[in-house]
Amino acid sequence: MWFFSDEHRMLQDTVRQFAADELSHCVQQLDEEEDFNEEAFRKLGPLGLLGITVSEADGGAGLGAVAATIAMEEMGAVDASTTLSYLAHAILCVNQIGVNGTPEQKEKYLPKLLTGEWIGGMGMSEPEAGSDALGMKTRAVLSGEEYVLNGTKMWITNGPVGDLFYCYAKTGEDRRAVSTFLIESEMPGFARGKKISKMGMRGSPTGELIFDNCRVPVANRVGTEGKSIGMMMRNLDLERITIAGISLGIARASIDASVQYAKDRKQFGKPIGAFQQIQERITEASAWYEACRCLTYTAAQMWDQGLMAGKDAAMMAAKAKLQSAQMATQVALDAIQIMGGYGYSREFPVERYMRDAKLMEIGAGTNEILRLIIARQMLGTVVDL
């Protein structure tokens, strides 16, 4: 993007190199085996990427949404699964501790999370509370110096491998009485449920978290009791901007693969790129990708410069995520189509791009929920009548 700083461009090079060196060689195998590239993940620590948005005072890189989105796009173009796990760690867990944690919480947890010694995750969704996040049933009841948590979290990225989870639970009868707790995987009453087998993003472990009278010290509550919704929503906005970067990466890789193929593959005596049907798909894909790229990085830049307040930020983030996700899925589908039988085979990466892209329309707010957010901002209370 034209407004990237020198620092942004250096970051872009660094992440691109990292992805080429550490992710590209085994991404296909890990997808087949549903296995996690833990080794590469931990190497993100020394590169300074695990605390990309955390202030330098707290040991982080002190960068913002633009930088995080760059990291997502560059890594996502090679290995969307590891990128998704990285996002769950850096944006959903580490960033939240950096923004909302107490000095003690930061001191206790950030060093381990920033070096890659610990893997982080976030717990919001539940079996009965997906799009309707505030319908969550996990409960935390204060008992002396501890909260006792009961409930089940679902679809948790890094659930099967994480050491610390930034989790939401209800602390009152009110639908909006949501509180936040830092849950260590070794705490009594915490258990990992089943690992979920998925269509795509198979190199990013997804699982359940189970709280069965899980005892959490009061010191591990983040923020005021019952007042977490604002923090939660604001992080969802940052998540949506940065995860759009993964969609951009998948789309870019799909376009690159189909362009290369359209030049190389000959049918009827000429490269298939000579046919207008193929040109149409490639040009539309590229134009849509550029449009989404402008939208996403503009949202990130506005976020970093503090130009968007509250619900405007939510709407802009939702627009960037909604368009980029739909674009990525369609562009990946078209890449398979351009490559025909080869595109459908697992010898080429585009079928994986498509399977990975589909999650972008579901995770971090389904397309439907993003439309609801945008509609509420545009139409006001009419939407909920």
Partner 1 sequence: MDFQETEIQTELRDLTRKFARKEILPLVEEDEHNEHFRPELIAKLGELGLTGIPVPEDFGGAGMGYQEYICAIEELAAVNTSYAISVAVTGLPQVILNLFGNAEQKAKYIPPLAAGQAIGAFALSEASSGSDAGSLRTVAKKEGNEYILNGTKLWITQGDTASTVMVMARTGGPGTKGVSAFIVEKGTPGFSCGKREKKMGCSISHTMELIFNNCRIPAANLVGNEGDGFKVAMTALDSGRITIAATALGVARGALESAVAHSREREQFGKPIGEFQGVSFLLADMAVQLDAARLLVNRAAWLKDNGLPHSKEAAMAKLFATDMAMKVTTDAVQVLGGSGYTKEFPVERYMREAKVLQIVEGTNQIQRVVIARSLTQKG
Q: CB under 8 A: which stretch of 16-24, 83-91, 191-199, 227-235 binds partner 1?
A: 191-199
Q: How many residues bind partner 1 (CB under 8 A)?
A: 46
Cα separation, 80 vs 227, in Å, equals: 33
Q: Of 67 and 87, which CB lies nearer to partner 1 in the complex structure?
A: 87
Confirm or reject binding of residue 50 to partner 1 (CB under 8 A).
no
Rule CB under 8 A: which of 198-227 touch partner 1?
198-200
Confirm or reject binding of residue 371 to partner 1 (CB under 8 A).
yes
Cα separation, 209 vs 153, in Å, equals: 5
* CB burial of residue 65 (10 Å; 0-12, 13-18, 19+): buried
Q: Look-up: residue for tokens 């699964």?
A: 81
Rule CB under 8 A: which of 228-287 touch partner 1?
266-269, 272, 275, 277-278
Shortest spacing between CB 236 and partner 1, in angstroms: 16
Shortest spacing between CB 67 and partner 1, in angstroms: 29
**Contact (Cβ atoms closer than 8 angstroms) between residue 28 and residue 352:** yes
Question: Which residues sit opposite 210 in a β-bridge?
Answer: 152, 191
Check residue 159 and report its DSSP letter: T
Confirm or reject binding of residue 17 to partner 1 (CB under 8 A).
no
Confirm or reject binding of residue 69 to partner 1 (CB under 8 A).
no
Where residue 332 falls (left for φ over 0; alpha for ψ -120 to 50; beta otherwise) is alpha
Shortest spacing between CB 255 and partner 1, in angstroms: 18
Q: Pick the catalytic residue from 239, 284, 290, 361.
A: 239
The question of whether 225 is a catalytic residue gets the answer no
Shortest spacing between CB 178 and partner 1, in angstroms: 16
Rule CB under 8 A: which of 88-127 touch partner 1?
125
**CA distances for 193 relative to 128, 151, 240, angstroms:** 16, 12, 26
Retrieve residue 256's tokens. 């690159």
Cα separation, 62 vs 13, in Å, equals: 18
**Contact (Cβ atoms closer than 8 angstroms) between residue 195 and residue 109:** no
Retrieve residue 92's tokens. 């959903």
Confirm or reject binding of residue 176 to partner 1 (CB under 8 A).
no
Shortest spacing between CB 320 and partner 1, in angstroms: 19
Residues lying near partner 1 in the complex (CB under 8 A): 125, 128-132, 135, 154-155, 196-200, 266-269, 272, 275, 277-278, 329, 333, 336-337, 340-341, 343-347, 351, 354-355, 358-359, 361-363, 366-368, 371-372
Tell me the catalytic residues: 239
